[in-house]
Structure 1
Amino acid sequence: MLSAASGAVVLAAALDWTLREPPSRGHPVALFGRLVAPVDRRWQRPKFVGVAAAFALPLVAAGATAGVVGLAALVGSTAALVAAGFALFSTTSLRMLLDAAGGVVEDSDTDPETARRNLRALAGRDPTDLSSGELRSAAVESVAENLADGLVAPLLAFALLAPLSLPLAAAGAAWVKAVNTLDSMLGYRHKPVGWAPARLDDAVMWLPARLSAVLVAAAAGDVGALSRAREWARAPPSPNSGWPMATLAAVLDVRLDKPDVYVLNRNVALPTPADADYGIRVVAVAGGFAWGLALAATLLADRVPVVVLASEVAAWV
């Protein structure tokens, strides 16, 4: 029988695959965005404000999530499972990402204007002058990067904290998602207030990005892609996003190119529609692995309570 944490993982995965996203009007990430919006302006001491926002706002999101799941737990274990499952669902995204990327690839040759318009929901770049191959490159880059940001990172936080308590696990996933959202809204070079959110996101995403690269290589059955990707992974300005993107470039043996910013796997061609479709399928399998690992971790935690693990570690030390 599944525990509340394991059941929450299953529920969140099922909701992601069937509903794709919570309703936009009440989406917790959209609500958090409204909380962040007043910070996005000029300040006399922007770095101080950025540090305060990076510290406080994700904690607000985590505290609210923990409170909701904790109140549900007072009703019963089933209510706690449902609350935690919806919380985890609201912090993760895979199916909508895959569908959006697939649409861009499908239209890249036949209707590039539509592809350019739809790319805006996936990638933060100006699509106006992108060729068909560059549109496919952007879609492939986005699914690889967002595998880490939108799925692996919150799942990892949830799985690591689930042995302690269900409200804490849900809060961990919400905190990670809030950090990533704060960075996506503020963490740009031209926004001095974004320095602290960007640095915090860099620290939080260090492990999820590299774990995502491993999952991509495993999904493709090409472990050697990791060593080939090492050569290009540091090309993007981000210290993390290059790892899953470069690994997918190695798997596909294609060039991924963000004009005037970076090039991954420079000496080969941009992805064809078939290449891009295969890349999206690889990320889908990698995402399935991520959900499976999160479920396995919560099931293992049920069998080996955290108190036992802590005592064993203390005895070993």
Structure 2
Amino acid sequence: MTITTLALLGLAFSLDLLLAEPRNAVHPVAWFGHFVGALDREWVETDRGQRLVGVGIALAVPLVPALAAGGLVAFGLALDPLLGAVLAGLVLFVTISLRSLLELTETVLAATDGDLETAREKVRGLVGRDASALSPAELRSAAVESAAENLADGLVATLLPFALLAPLSLPAAAGVAAWVKGVNTLDSMLGYPDKPHGTASARLDDLVMWLPARVTAVAIAVAAGSPRALWRARRWARAPPSPNSGWPMATLACVLSVRLSKPGVYELNPEAPLPTVADGERAVTIVGRAAVVAVLVAVALAALSDAVAPTIASAATTTLESMGVRA
């Protein structure tokens, strides 16, 4: 199963490099986003009632893509093992985004050198803040921050559980990857302070992203050959309101020796200057290398999972037999 998992990782990343993301009209994540958009409304008149509705949304809605993805792969496996495996690889492909992230970051960085209107327009694809008054250096900061944060959201968070579960069950691997993507999408669309029905989604995303954000920070430090940067980043990792996004962002700030800033909200590595275009280009290179590190971690997880799979199967069989159930 390790060979199968490696092949699926290769398939997903090859498609990402060749095609980037599918067009919204055929992208399952975009379809899910439309569904979430329909839920973004006032359900009841009180904030407390909205929060209670939000708990139901957070618990139930991510199960929609999870069950769809897992069921699709299970159906494919029932027809043909190769078909099921390919479908699992396609699920991973649509839940990751690396090439689009790096290309958009590069576009914003280049536009800050003389075409601020384009930079301000394009950066909206990376961050949710108002960019109309941002300086060129602040626009570059926003792009670099997003590259670090979205490496966790758009790659590591779905890649690692997929790799861990694929040797055990392809439907489970696909389902969990889709579930995580669903949680991320809910948070990105509903998880704002002025939307009480998104509070539970934001808290769930905080929980889900706790480990991926820190793994991403380690990957950035390793990719840059600077473990000391990870240690320094601890001083500012908790400065952003999110309990997780500060880790990869602060680590990248320390690696680059730049200040990353969201005006009025946080300053990471505050004594350094804001990034130049060259700093931004270096950030894109480091984030790309960190993605490779994350893939190597995923391969190691797949090998570990494959090694313990017989033990898990044996324990399950023993448990069933002790209960009088024939495996």
Partner residue in 2 for 1:19: 19
Which amino acid letter does the alignment assign opposite residue 209 of structure 2?
Answer: M
- Identity across aligned pairs (percent)? 56
Supply the distance in 1 between the matched residues of 2:210 and 2:202 (Cα, whole angstroms). 12
Give the drift of 1:43: 2.1
**What amino acid is aligned across from residue 112 of structure 1 in structure 2?**
L
Cα distance in 2, alignment partners of residues 309 and 76 from structure 1: 25
SS of the aligned residue for 1:109 comes to coil
Equivalent-residue separation in structure 2 for 1:166 and 1:311 (angstroms) = 19
In structure 1, the residue matched to 2:323 is: none
Q: Counterpart of 2:8?
A: 8
After TM superposition, give the deviation of residue 77 of structure 1 in Å.
2.2
Rounded to whole Å, the distance in 2 between the matches of 1:34 and 1:124 is 18
* Residue 223 in structure 1 maps to residue 230 in structure 2: no
- 8 Å contact 1:163–1:305 — kept in the other structure? no
Q: CA deviation at 1:309?
A: 5.5
Question: Which TM-score applies when normalising by structure 2?
Answer: 0.92
Question: Over residues 219-239 of structure 1, what are the superposed CA-to-partner deviations in whole Å (9 max), with x where a residue is unaligned?
Answer: 000001111000000010000
| Deviation beyond 6 Å, 4+ runs, structure 1 | none
| Structure 2 match to 1:268 | 272
- Residue aligned with 2:125, SS: coil
2:245 corresponds to: 241
Determine if contact 1:59/1:175 at 8 Å carries over to the other structure. Answer: yes
SS of equivalent to 2:62: helix
Q: How far off its partner does 1:261 sit?
A: 1.1
Q: How many Å separate the matches in 1 of 2:232 and 2:193?
A: 30
**What secondary structure is seen at the aligned counterpart in 2 of 1:110?**
coil
What is the DSSP-based 3-state SS (H/G/I as helix, E as strand, rest coil) of the residue aligned with 1:257? strand
Q: How is 1:22-171 mapped onto 2 (pairs within 5 angstroms)?
A: 22-44=22-44, 45-171=49-175
Q: What residue identity is the alignment partner of 1:124?
A: G
Cα distance per residue 1:20-67 (max 9 Å; x no partner):
102210211111112212221112221111111111111111000001
| Cα distance in 2 for residues equivalent to 1:4 and 1:52 | 36
Amino acid in structure 2 at the alignment position of 1:306: A
Q: Deviations over 1:190-209 (max 9, x none)?
A: 00101100000000000000
Amino acid aligned to 2:116: P
Confirm or deny: 8 A CA contact 1:4 1:77 kept in the other structure: no
Q: What SS is found at the alignment partner of 2:112? A: helix
Report how far residue 142 of structure 1 moved.
0.3
For residue 321 of structure 2, what is the aligned residue in structure 1?
Answer: none
Q: CA deviation at 1:160?
A: 2.3
Distance in 2 (CA, whole Å) between partners of 1:15 and 1:290 is 17
Q: SS of the counterpart of 1:263?
A: strand
Q: 1:267 to 1:153 in 2, by over 3 A?
A: same
- Counterpart residue number, 2:194: 190
The count of residues paired between Structure 1 and Structure 2 equals 311
- Distance in 1 (CA, whole Å) between partners of 2:312 and 2:81 is 24
Unaligned runs of 5+ in 1: 313-317
Q: Which residue of 1 aligns with 2:318?
A: none
Separation in 2, partners of 1:39, 1:238:
23
> How far, CA to CA, are the matches of 1:214 and 1:105 in structure 2?
24
AA matched with 2:140: R
Amino acid in structure 2 at the alignment position of 1:81: A
Structure 2 residue aligned with 1:315: none
Task: After superposing the two structures, state which structure 1 stretch, 4-13 or 276-285, moved more.
Answer: 4-13
Name the amino acid aligned to 2:160: L
Unaligned runs of 5+ in 2: 316-327
